[in-house]
Chains A and B, each alone.
Chain A
């Protein structure tokens, strides 16, 4: 099975997010970098599918030269090939990004054959446009489902052929929706599909020796442009101590009644 998984280098989440003075970027001077959490799960999903069904997985990122760091992290957990589509700075226009990536993917497929499955993250951690994966799938004419939390091949299907279906599960309030997507297909995976492994030291060292393929591709700007980034108002939370020990019980009862749960 040939799998492509796409990742984006983003400031590592976990801290207060500051925005640069020009309101165009997340200020990352105090932050490390990572791939978006959903994409981290995408990388893990690709590694697990290859472990289970054989084949090979390729990781691709579009960005500046520093994105190589995230590609090597993916290789260090088991991805075998990495591709960078170089750009000046982080891409911000989802239409342009998608169009560029379509060109790049077509070039890769022309050289080595089609990817049976392309895995995206549900959305990126920094911009959250929810667009790039669907735009690419659409342009490539492949089926796409977002929000996926489970992936498997139907029993008895020959994984090496690249033919048949992939079964994708999406969590909804009442349970799971199960899709059968004809291959080649695209999916957007969501955190929770798996627990991504950390790189091992040996994996890290091996990743340093992996060869980076660079694919030049570009596209015209799309109709969407980022105007500016704005921090949401800070959430202020208040903790009220209702009392200590048994003395707190009446206050808790009052509160539960007020909330309508009692």
Chain B
């Protein structure tokens, strides 16, 4: 073994599937002088990789998980460390059969071969299954079984053969050191191990269940918790042994019992996600020496597994007579929102995380992190749902991580609605109006940590007034109310008052603030005090990182307003790029500034009762930012709209909020003003206007030209992504366009009206053909919602240019049925001339 180095460019901690693939991908991208360390022995250092069941079901409703699953499966195949066993998800309930229809829809979206099977067809593929207790199955022939340990070895060998990697097993990390960096930040500087100290420019934590503990050494957080997944190996069974294969029969996922049966040579691995959530602190995981097997193969707690055995025997009787040869409480990583932790830590520059990644996504996610480190942002996929920066401080503590993991563990094989809300850890941040909203019967949805009223039950009378009704199918009606449509129509007729306190409000100040604001933004931001811009922020490759509004509020300050789901990512992005000369000061005003939105044809009449300011279009033009007094309260009003009706975002100090709310509600009493929820703001109002949303229509795979957000001219100032943006503009007509579609007929084969949820439903040609562009981007629904003012189900999504013309007939798949739809165009379905917003 070579001598332990004192310096390296990159130190990767953890030689499981993630760390091993990461060093391989870094070497492919030209990185040199890499050191990989692990506290355990190789090739199985004792983390979660070593006891993984090593199978990949390539269908997932989540785009990142689905595409990186497919990507990872292909990487295993490329190394010849993969066998396509096929896999079947079986349903014991009608609810699950409906979910399998949804799985078929996602399989179509991601281009994964799949079919629904009758119980008899399942039996043909899996002769030892009890087909009498199942209603059907979802069969995916490309489900694969991989050799993750050997794949890790091959990736490490590839980097070592290039001479760019040294590997040290049995090397324990004792500390991760940092040094002061500009703008009051910390930067990683060294890793201290029991073999010595290595100075490093970059450190990557790929330590699986130990990741948070190692990140904590540097003062950073990677919110995850080690959690038990129980698995028992039973056998031998002749029918399995006779296949003379590691895997000869399709893997069966018994979805309704949260269990799987996976052949392993002559025996069967029965794995469970159906037991109670069993969480451990990383300090309670034994060392390699102290563990009877490996540290993450903890002693089996039989009582937790017993109910699973009963249901497993129901499904496959022969399991009952086979001996339980090996059974473990295997540890894996869970995060507060069930998504991985990828990217640079927000607390320490150059300290990266590649954690909470399972074998099924390992190679793909390692590629994501390697590209992120290389290019400043991943190229293979937009990682916003896995981005470590997404977490707010309240989401990074053990109390939150444990509570959320406890809640979602049982949903691993669950049927999770796209709008599903968390039960626990609510009310982490309430707006100043919370008690008023509660009194109005608000239905609260949580936007990460912020509680927001989705609709108000006090507006139930609007349902009758506008002749609205519940949705016929429970799934479509879940987490929804016709009151939303009532609030929408009332806003279009009168006015709505919106609580937008979850807005993330930042301020840049100092001599470099204006230039820095321009550097972040595609559009020109600083056009004088009191001006504003709606603008994309791009990454270096010219794809979207964010879209938000920015206002010049003084000679050297700029205010940035972004959404609750993106506050963490945007704050991280700003801090990452802050000038090293410290000429810009960053402040987060989100917890001291509250925002109300007032929109509708009566908005001006309402507000004018409370202020002397000129509110006419002439005196207060669209986009202007003005300091005014409203009911004697100092406020800033911003004439803008995300819902298609005229009005303002009104900012004031947090403590002034309640008085402002009361004054506006009083003034609106005779003007039909109603408190109006995020169901209108985020969905119905927005989709009627075709406004794009970060994380839905806007992702790094798309650019402003494709999104229809390119302005006629490009500003002179430099900005992040400018070169790529200019190149995309010069390339001419884009390959895809973001369009609005209307669903022409939403009645399904059972005669029921259906309502798409915006869960990546594929947008197909009129002949039902899947649409994929030359970059591999698939046409799918990015947002779905009803447009109450246009009376249609509306969809947003990207389609190839030849399908983007208004009137083009298409199909959308929902719950495995095709519905005809028509392209409305790249603009708005409602008030396309924007007369309601900007005056006629």
Which of A12, A15, A30, A201 is close to B312, meaning CB atoms less than 8 Å apart? Answer: A201
Contact with B along A149-176 (1 / 0, CB 8 A): 0000000000000000000000000000
In the bound complex, residues from chain B placing their C-beta under 8 Å from that of A53 are: none
In the bound complex, residues from chain B placing their C-beta under 8 Å from that of A12 are: 292, 299
Contact B323 A199 (CB under 8 A): yes
Which of B284, B289, B302, B324 is close to A69, meaning CB atoms less than 8 Å apart? Answer: B302
Q: How far is the CA of A202 from the CA of B316 in the complex (A)?
A: 12
Considering the complex, give the chain A residue whose CB is closest to the CB of B299: A32
Q: How far is the CA of A30 from the CA of B295 in the complex (A)?
A: 9
| Chain A proximity of B271: nearest CB distance (Å) | 14
Contact B321 A200 (CB under 8 A): yes
Contact A201 B324 (CB under 8 A): yes
In the bound complex, residues from chain B placing their C-beta under 8 Å from that of A246 are: none
In the bound complex, residues from chain B placing their C-beta under 8 Å from that of A143 are: none
Residue B291 at the A interface, CB < 8 A? Answer: yes
Residue A235 at the B interface, CB < 8 A? Answer: no
Which of B289, B293, B312, B322 is close to A16, meaning CB atoms less than 8 Å apart? Answer: B289
Which of B286, B300, B319 is close to A30, meaning CB atoms less than 8 Å apart? Answer: B286
Which of B292, B310, B324 is close to A31, meaning CB atoms less than 8 Å apart? Answer: B292
In the bound complex, residues from chain B placing their C-beta under 8 Å from that of A30 are: 286, 290-291, 298-299
Contact A205 B310 (CB under 8 A): yes
In the bound complex, residues from chain B placing their C-beta under 8 Å from that of A200 are: 234, 320-324
Contact B320 A15 (CB under 8 A): no
Considering the complex, give the chain B residue whose CB is closest to the CB of A206: B320
Residue A18 at the B interface, CB < 8 A? Answer: yes
Interchain Cβ contacts within 8 Å, total number = 60
Residue B714 at the A interface, CB < 8 A? Answer: no
Q: How large is the interface on A (under 10, 10 to 19, 20 to 34, 35 or more residues)?
A: 20 to 34
In the bound complex, residues from chain B placing their C-beta under 8 Å from that of A33 are: 299
Residue A14 at the B interface, CB < 8 A? Answer: yes
Interface residues of A in 60-94 (CB under 8 A from B): 69
Q: How large is the interface on B (under 10, 10 to 19, 20 to 34, 35 or more residues)?
A: 20 to 34
Q: How far is the CA of A199 from the CA of B232 in the complex (A)?
A: 12
Q: How far is the CA of A208 from the CA of B323 in the complex (A)?
A: 16
In the bound complex, residues from chain A placing their C-beta under 8 Å from that of B709 are: none
Considering the complex, give the chain A residue whose CB is closest to the CB of B234: A201
Interface residues of B in 278-305 (CB under 8 A from A): 284, 286, 289-293, 298-300, 302
Contact A204 B292 (CB under 8 A): no
Residue B747 at the A interface, CB < 8 A? Answer: no
Contact A199 B290 (CB under 8 A): no
Interface residues of A in 3-25 (CB under 8 A from B): 12-16, 18
Interface residues of B in 318-346 (CB under 8 A from A): 319-325
Q: How far is the CA of A15 from the CA of B286 in the complex (A)?
A: 10
In the bound complex, residues from chain B placing their C-beta under 8 Å from that of A208 are: 306
In the bound complex, residues from chain A placing their C-beta under 8 Å from that of B312 are: 201
In the bound complex, residues from chain B placing their C-beta under 8 Å from that of A16 are: 289-290
Contact B292 A14 (CB under 8 A): yes
Which of B292, B300, B320 is close to A202, meaning CB atoms less than 8 Å apart? Answer: B320
Contact status of A201 and B302, CB under 8 A, knowing A15-B289, A18-B290: no
In the bound complex, residues from chain A placing their C-beta under 8 Å from that of B321 are: 200-202
Interface centre among A16, A30, A31, A199 (most CB of B within 10 A): A30
| Chain A proximity of B127: nearest CB distance (Å) | 20
Q: How far is the CA of A205 from the CA of B292 in the complex (A)?
A: 26
Considering the complex, give the chain B residue whose CB is closest to the CB of A73: B302
Residue A230 at the B interface, CB < 8 A? Answer: no
Contact B290 A197 (CB under 8 A): no
Contact status of A32 and B325, CB under 8 A, knowing A16-B290, A200-B320, A204-B309: no
Residue B313 at the A interface, CB < 8 A? Answer: yes
In the bound complex, residues from chain B placing their C-beta under 8 Å from that of A130 are: none
Q: How far is the CA of A200 from the CA of B232 in the complex (A)?
A: 11
| Chain B proximity of A248: nearest CB distance (Å) | 20
| Chain A proximity of B345: nearest CB distance (Å) | 30
| Chain A proximity of B746: nearest CB distance (Å) | 47
Q: How far is the CA of A31 from the CA of B284 in the complex (A)?
A: 12
Contact A204 B324 (CB under 8 A): yes
In the bound complex, residues from chain A placing their C-beta under 8 Å from that of B299 are: 12, 30-33
Contact A197 B310 (CB under 8 A): no
Contact A201 B309 (CB under 8 A): yes
| Chain A proximity of B293: nearest CB distance (Å) | 7
In the bound complex, residues from chain A placing their C-beta under 8 Å from that of B324 are: 198-201, 204
Contact A201 B290 (CB under 8 A): no
Contact with B along A172-209 (1 / 0, CB 8 A): 00000000000000000000000001111110110010
In the bound complex, residues from chain B placing their C-beta under 8 Å from that of A13 are: 292
Considering the complex, give the chain B residue whose CB is closest to the CB of A17: B290
Known contacts A32-B300, A200-B324, A204-B309; 6 additional CB pairs below 8 A are A15-B291, A15-B292, A32-B292, A32-B299, A201-B321, A205-B306
- Chosen A-B contacts, 28 in total, with CB atoms closer than 8 Å, are A12-B292, A12-B299, A13-B292, A15-B289, A15-B290, A15-B291, A16-B289, A18-B290, A29-B284, A30-B286, A30-B290, A31-B292, A31-B299, A32-B292, A32-B299, A69-B302, A197-B323, A198-B323, A198-B324, A199-B323, A199-B324, A201-B309, A201-B321, A202-B320, A202-B321, A205-B306, A205-B313, A205-B320
6 closest Cβ pairs, A-B complex = A32-B299, A30-B286, A198-B323, A14-B292, A202-B320, A16-B289
A interface with B by C-beta (< 8 Å): 12-16, 18, 29-33, 69, 197-202, 204-205, 208
B interface with A by C-beta (< 8 Å): 234, 284, 286, 289-293, 298-300, 302, 306, 309-310, 312-313, 319-325
